[in-house]
Amino acid sequence: MPVRPLNDPAQYDDLVDSWWDLRGRFAMLHWLAAARARLVPLATRPGSMLIDIACGAGLLAPHIALLGHRHVGVDLSATALPLARGHGVLAVRGDALALPFADACADVVVAGEVLEHVTDLSAAVAEACRVLRPGGTLVVDTIADTAWGRFSAITAAERLPGGPPRRLHDPALFVDRAELVRLAAAGGVALTLAGLRPSALDYLAWCAGRQRTVRMLPVRSTAGLFQAYGEKGGS
């Protein structure tokens, strides 16, 4: 693989053949997609739309297929979008900082493993809240801007099977949790935060080839990998 700058989106194009390899370089993204889907509610009306920001190759799709939403994805990667479409996602090319959607059009907005990659957190959160209708649900997972976040996501995870490729993250972009909560509140969404970690037993079984996936378990600490979710107020 070419040596790219930190956080270079071209790395996803370099690794396009790895997206749906359950033992490949994006394995942990599959585990996280399953955990993310647990926070997605059932559709409550016909035509309910879920916007999947930074949808990649559509890894969320199989986990929400029975929830009743029209799954619309947006991503910068031109190579990932055809793969997402092949898994039933209505995928368009676009930027998380300027989403190509109307105000209040989505019943659910999901931003999985993207906020730690954006250069303008305020704009990304504002856009996610803008396209969410009142009463809709916002679901996020990302990495905290802490010493533990940097150690667990880069120093440790980049050296472990299933962890992210090296140089995929720039720790300078990791997310200040209080700032995330404040920005979402400004957009009308009150967030609840919860930590995540892989099941150690599942991970050992996965490494040994005895298990296809690894459960992500909730933990009290949000100092590393964490989820955030909430409902947009108003009517």
42 domain-assigned: yes
- pTM for the full predicted model: 0.96
37 domain-assigned: yes
205 domain-assigned: yes
Q: Which domain does 218 fall in, by range?
A: 10-228
Distance separating alpha carbons of residues 76 and 55, to the nearest angstrom? 9
pLDDT of residue 146: 98
* Strand locations in 81-231 (E): 90-93, 106-112, 132-143, 192-198, 216-219, 225-231
User: In CATH, what number is assigned to the domain containing residue 142?
Assistant: 3.40.50.150
Tell me: the pLDDT tens digits for 131-158?
Answer: 999 999 999 999 999 999 999 999 999 9
pLDDT for residue 198 is more than 70: yes
2 domain-assigned: no
Residue 218 amino acid letter: P
122 domain-assigned: yes
4 domain-assigned: no
235 domain-assigned: no
pLDDT-based confidence at residue 235 (cuts at 50, 70, 90): low
Number of domains forming the structure of the chain: 1
> Which residue matches tokens 């916002």?
138
> Which residue matches tokens 């059009």?
105
133 domain-assigned: yes
